[in-house]
Amino acid sequence: MRSIIFANYIARDTRRLGATIDVEHSHVRFLGNLVLNLWDCGGQDTFMENYFTSQRDNIFRNVEVLIYVFDVESRELEKDMHYYQSCLEAILQNSPDAKVFCLVHKMDLVQEDQRDLIFKEREDDLKRLSRPLECTCFRTSIWDETLYKAWSSIVYQLIPNVQQLETNLRNFAQIIEADEVLLFERATFLVISHYQCKEQRDAHRFEKISNIIKQFKLSCSKLAASFQSMEVRNSNFAAFIDVFTSNTYVMVIMSDPSIPSAATLINIRNARKHFEKLERVDGPKHSLHMRMR
């Protein structure tokens, strides 16, 4: 999962990844100035025992976000839940303000008609177990867009000035008469902010767009090219995706076919400087990522 979101793997390539040994540290630049410290902790039993005993303080201190991954096909539900609870205890002790996210992963291995049912069951269990902490649950799979939805929500919580971004986006959209404006983080293509002026049909469109563009970026990279901007039209709409600030991409949806492309592109270009100024840094954040086998 980490490879796909942060390191531009495509889903198929992840078959080659081996088991994570102990803790893998990585620093990920996000939004230019934000640095995420990602701790990918191996899921084997020996490591898990280790975390809760000798390394406890080290790992669980100063955590902003705990992401716990469950394998939906796991045969050892009891043990999984036990480890999860130990994590929660450690978090309560060391970083009680951390936000907790649970990902019920590998959902593609479940038959489609059973997915909702199984996820609901798990979610109820987890919410019950997590009290007094609040946990947000997502069902994910590396083979579709659900992965992006989960990570977008997680990342959304980490952005320092999200309210300001949204206000500015709204002004921008209203000036250029756009139906919708989305802001993506450059490397991961996760949606970090958006504004829509009318109700859109598809509630899952953000993660779908992230998925679509990410796939395309990866195919371009095979030809040693990378895509810079895109315009898609049909008789009902026009979509423009372009580089925005040094850390973001913007997507503008117009539904008025009489507005020429050039006008929108000029508007986007003029807005760039304004948004550059908004990007600010607050200091490095620390997140914790635990992995369950």
Partner 1 sequence: MWNSCTNHDSLINSGNSETRSGATMSQGNKTYGEEEGEEDETLAMTGVDEDDDDDDDDDLDTFTDGDLDSGCEDGVLGCRDPFSSEVKPRILLMGLRRSGKSSIQKVVFHKMSPNETLFLESTNKICREDVSNSSFVNFQIWDFPGQIDFFDPTFDYEMIFRGTGALIFVIDSQDDYVEALSRLHLTVTRAYKVNPDINFEVFIHKVDGLSDDHKIEKQRDIQKRANDDLVDAALERIHLSFYLTSIYDHSIFEAFSKVVQKLIPELPTLENLLNIFTTNSAIEKAFLFDVVSKIYIATDSSPVDMQTYELCCDMIDVVIDISCIYGVTGDEGGIPYDKESMAIIRLNSTTVMYLKEVTKFLALVCFLREESFERKGLIDYNFHCFRKAIQEVFEVRLKVLWSRKLLSQRRRSRQATPNGTPRAPS
Question: How far, in Å, are 99, 180, 196, 218, 260 from residue 241 at the CA level?
Answer: 32, 12, 16, 16, 15
Based on CB atoms, which residue is closest to partner 1, 97 or 112?
A: 112
Report in angstroms how near the CB of residue 96 gets to partner 1 at its nearest.
Answer: 40
Based on CB atoms, which residue is closest to partner 1, 48 or 239?
A: 239
Footprint (CB under 8 A) of partner 1, residues 95-124:
108, 111-112
Stretch that binds partner 1, among 22-30, 90-98, 126-134, 235-243 (CB under 8 A): 235-243
Asked if 227 is part of the footprint of partner 1 (rule: CB under 8 A), the reply reads yes
* Site track for partner 1 across 197-226, x = CB under 8 A: ---xxx--x--xx--xx-xx--xx-xxxxx
**202 Cβ partners below 8 Å, 6+ apart?**
208
* Site track for partner 1 across 252-291, x = CB under 8 A: -x---x----------------------------------
**What are the CB-based long-range contacts (under 8 Å, 24+) for 277-283?**
278/161, 278/164, 278/165, 278/168, 279/31, 279/32, 279/33, 279/245, 279/246, 279/247, 279/248, 280/33, 280/160, 280/161, 281/32, 281/33, 281/34, 281/160, 282/34, 282/160
**Site of interaction with partner 1 (CB under 8 A):** 12, 108, 111-112, 143-144, 179-180, 200-202, 205, 208-209, 212-213, 215-216, 219-220, 222-237, 239, 253, 257
